[in-house]
Amino acid sequence: MGLLLGVVGVSLPFLRPGALLVSAALALVVGLHLLPGDRWGRPLQKIPLLKPVAVAGAWAVGSTLVPLLDGGETMRFGVFALGGYRMLFILPNVLLADWADREGDAAVGLAVWTPGESLYALRLTSTVLLTGGIVGAVVAVHSYGAPAVLLVDVLGLIAMLGATWGLRPWHSPAQAFMLDLIVAWPLVPWLVHQWGGL
């Protein structure tokens, strides 16, 4: 933790104001998630679906908007579209990873984000989210001039779709790791862009 805080402290002077502002908002979300449950009641875990949406949203913003803002990108529609697209990729991961916690959450009075739903319904919801991301990316490339490397990124959504139905991260740490490893897929299109020029 000390090392992390040290890295943050050294990095802050090099960030642009827009990136700093968004990073501060993300830190607030993290703070709300980590508030002690006995005093503040963990607000992000008291309302159904708020926790996974907030976690996935913070992850998506941190991996898309912050780097773009720090690179001097203006807040255009494409920037927000990229953040939304990334959230469609990340949210199924958060939902599946939290599935095993639902009974424990209910036992300590926290909101269960899938009340009355089955694992099948969860997987179906994740399929709709991922399919929306896949279709959106293909349309963006073919109709709106988005970079072709986005199609390489779509392979990550397809892998997450397979993991949604094939993995059970609550059964073994190895499967949980595989689920998280898929979220790191954006590294692949970045490498393709760097080496292949897409």
Tens digit of each residue's pLDDT (9 = 90 or more) over 85-134:
999 999 999 888 877 777 666 666 666 665 456 888 889 999 999 999 99
Q: In sequence order, which residues have a C-beta less than 8 Å from that of residue 151 and are 6 or more positions away?
A: 137, 138, 141
Opening angle at CA 153, ends 30 and 83, nearest 5:
35
Residue 127 belongs to what domain range? 2-196
What angle do helix axes 77-98 and 173-183 make, rounded to 10 degrees? 180
More confident residue, 195 or 135: 135
Question: What total of structural domains would you count in the chain?
Answer: 1
Indicate the pLDDT class of residue 157, thresholds 50, 70 and 90: very high
CB 138 within 8 A of CB 154: yes
Most confident range, picked from 8-17, 36-45, 126-135: 126-135
Note the pTM of the prediction, 2 decimals: 0.80
What is the distance in angstroms between the CA of the first residue and the CA of the last residue of the chain? Answer: 38
